[in-house]
C-alpha cells in the first residue's frame, strides 16, 4: 500500500504496481532457471493461496490508491494457470493483469510473440529485454543457476536482435498502450548504467 500510495501521488491512476516474489528467494527455481518444468510448479493448494493473496492486494490497491495492479509470472506453467478462470470466479483481468517478462519467457525456450497473442487480454505491463540464445542453451546444457547465467550475460542489450521489433509489432497488433519497461543487467565491459540505458534508448528510437 505504501508503494501504491507513492506511485499514485507521483504519476496518478495510470501507474502500475507489479506484484512479484524475490527472484532468487526460491532455491529450486534459482537452480533451474531457464529450464523450469511443470513438475517444479506449485501444487494447486499453494497456487490458490497465491491467487487469493494477489487478488486481495489488487482490490486494496485499486480501491484505496487508484493504481492498476498486475502480477509477474515468468514460466509457461504459471501463465497457463494465471490465464484460466478461477474456480470461484474471483479472477477479474481488469483488476489484476499480467506483467509479461519477454526475456525470462525467451530464456525458458518460449516464443514471446506467441505469448503476447495468447494472453493479450491480460497484459498490463511489459518488461522488454532479450536473452542470448547461445548462452541460454549453454546454461541448460551445463546446469547453471540463475545468478551464473546472468553473470555470463544471458540478458543482453537490445541492439541487433529482430525479436525486439517482433515484440513491439505484436504489442501494437493487440492494441497495447500500457507501460513497457526496458530492464538491463549491467556487467563488466558495458560501462555505466547510464551509458547502457542510452544505447538501449538509441536503438529503440532508431527502430520506432
**CATH number (domain holding residue 137):** 3.20.20.150
Strand 123-128 to strand 97-101: parallel, antiparallel, or no bridges (unpaired)?
A: parallel
Question: What pLDDT score was predicted for residue 81?
Answer: 60
Cell 543487467 belongs to 185
Q: Count CB-CB contacts under 10 A for residue 30.
A: 15
What is the sign, positive or negative, of the torsion defined by CA atoms of 33, 34, 39, 43? positive
Q: Is the pLDDT score of 164 beyond 90? A: no
Please compute the mean of the pLDDT values over residues 161-170 and round it to a whole number. 85
Q: Is the pLDDT score of 107 beyond 80? A: yes
Q: What are φ and ψ of residue 103, in 5° steps?
A: -75, -40
Q: Is the pLDDT score of 137 beyond 70? A: yes
Question: What pLDDT score was predicted for residue 7?
Answer: 82
Taking the C-alpha atoms of residue 83 and residue 138, their distance in angstroms, rounded to an integer, is: 31
Domain count, the chain: 1
Question: What pLDDT score was predicted for residue 127?
Answer: 87
Strand partners, 72: 99
Please compute the mean of the pLDDT values over residues 152-177 and round it to a whole number. 87
Please compute the mean of the pLDDT values over residues 189-204 and round it to a whole number. 90
Cell 525479436 belongs to 163
Q: Is the pLDDT score of 14 beyond 80? A: no
Say how far residue 130 (Cα) sits from the centre of its chain.
12
Q: What is the pTM of this model?
A: 0.81
Report the run of H or E that residue 172 belongs to, with start and end: helix 162-173
Q: Could you tell me which of 163, 164, 35, 21 has the C-alpha nearest to residue 99?
A: 21
By the 8 A CB rule, do 69 and 62 touch?
yes
pLDDT confidence bin for 170, thresholds 50/70/90 = very high
Which cell goes with 45? Answer: 493448494
Domain containing residue 94: 2-206
Question: What pLDDT score was predicted for residue 26?
Answer: 84
Amino acid at each position: 500500500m505504501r508503494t501504491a500510495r507513492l506511485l499514485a501521488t507521483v504519476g496518478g491512476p495510470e501507474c502500475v504496481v507489479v506484484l512479484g516474489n524475490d527472484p532468487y528467494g526460491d532455491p529450486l527455481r534459482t537452480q533451474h532457471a531457464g529450464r523450469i518444468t511443470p513438475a517444479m510448479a506449485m501444487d494447486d493448494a499453494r497456487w490458490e493461496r497465491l491467487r487469493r493473496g494477489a487478488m486481495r492486494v489488487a482490490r486494496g490497491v485499486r480501491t484505496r490508491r487508484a493504481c492498476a495492479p498486475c502480477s509477474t509470472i515468468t514460466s509457461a506453467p504459471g501463465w497457463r494457470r494465471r490465464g484460466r478462470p478461477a474456480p470461484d470466479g474471483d479472477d477479474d483481468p481488469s483488476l489484476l493483469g499480467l506483467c509479461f517478462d519477454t526475456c525470462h519467457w525467451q530464456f525458458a525456450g518460449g516464443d514471446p510473440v506467441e505469448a503476447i497473442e495468447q494472453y493479450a487480454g491480460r497484459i498490463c505491463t511489459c518488461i522488454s529485454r532479450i536473452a542470448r540464445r547461445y548462452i541460454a542453451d549453454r546454461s541448460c546444457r551445463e546446469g547453471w543457476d540463475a545468478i551464473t547465467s546472468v553473470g555470463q550475460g544471458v540478458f543482453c542489450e537490445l541492439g541487433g536482435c529482430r525479436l525486439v521489433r517482433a515484440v513491439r509489432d505484436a504489442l501494437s497488433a493487440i492494441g497495447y498502450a500500457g507501460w513497457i519497461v526496458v530492464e538491463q543487467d549491467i556487467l563488466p565491459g558495458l560501462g555505466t548504467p547510464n551509458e547502457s540505458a542510452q544505447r538501449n534508448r538509441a536503438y529503440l528510437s532508431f527502430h520506432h
